[in-house]
Amino acid sequence: MRPSLHAVPPPTAPAPATPAYLPQGDECEVFAHAHAAGLPVLLKGPTGCGKTRLIEHMAARLGRPLITVSGHDDLGAADLTGRHLIEGGDTVWVDGPLTRAVRQGAIFYLDEVVEARKDITVVLHPLADDRRVLPLERTGEQLAAAPGFQLVLAYNPGYQHLLKGLKPSTRQRFVGLTLGYPAPALEARIVASESGCSDATAASLVRLAQALRRLTDHDLEETASTRLLVMAARLHQGGLPLARAAQVAVAEALTDDAVTLAALQEVLGAVLPS
């Protein structure tokens, strides 16, 4: 067996611009303090409220590389740490994304952590406490996290199955940050900034979102997110009438049920100009 092959860092490139982010509160300051203290962060909030953008913004602001993985049903510990592969007739070890982050001192962001398999806690827990080590069972290493490494998990507490909640033993290793949808004035600023639409258009879309979020008579798994409003605004900027842009980017994204969709369309017609 040949020695392990660690991922070769990419050539140095000019630092990208810091992604724009308009804070809802003191989340940027809390995140920066957690990073300085070497503490992991658990980011909670509904779909499309800005969790990923916050992490992208803070990674750039702190000057750290960012490695992002999206959780899914088949994601297990080996997918994060790495595995032995056949290369040129020999068996070599190839680092996974979490191992690369630990070696590089990067911020590792695992989105929708509750969707992943439960065995990932075996490798996350030692990185989320004072040990700050990654056990690589297949190579026998106890890999100490490089300076600057930070573990960040995110999930949507409002969309958890009883079998997919985070255990207290996991949650209590993390600094918790909760995001919601921004206040209307701030959300309108975000929509206008991200899409280039007028303030009036952004305000109309936010009023629509507020109306949809007040709906309680329909079984919606999710409600209108800031992300969906930005999508609608971009379609409108491209020339699509605002009501039609909101229908395809917001209402159609929220449900496949014909009755529910008709109800959403009624709200849309009442709020947005035709």
Among 178, 194, 228, which residue terminates a domain? 178
Do the domain assignments include residue 17?
no
Same domain, 192 and 82: no
- The answer to whether 207 and 271 have CB atoms below 8 angstroms apart is yes
Residue 48 sits in a domain whose CATH number is 3.40.50.300
Among 133, 161, 178, which residue terminates a domain? 178
Same domain, 155 and 192: no
Among 156, 178, 200, which residue terminates a domain? 178
The tokens for 109 are 């962001």
Domain that holds residue 211: 184-271
Same domain, 36 and 138: yes
- Confidence at 12, pLDDT banded by 50, 70, 90: very low
Same domain, 132 and 209: no
CA-CA distance, 199 to 4, in Å (whole number)? 55
Do the domain assignments include residue 173?
yes
44-101 confidence digits (pLDDT tens): 999 899 999 999 999 999 999 999 999 999 999 999 999 888 877 788 889 999 999 9
The tokens for 100 are 């690369």
- Using DSSP, state whether 217 is helix, strand or coil: coil
- The answer to whether 35 and 29 have CB atoms below 8 angstroms apart is no
Strand partners, 91: 86
Strand partners, 5: 94
Do the domain assignments include residue 9?
no
User: Is the per-residue pLDDT at 10 higher than 80?
Assistant: no
- Confidence at 164, pLDDT banded by 50, 70, 90: low
Same domain, 89 and 163: yes
Do the domain assignments include residue 13?
no
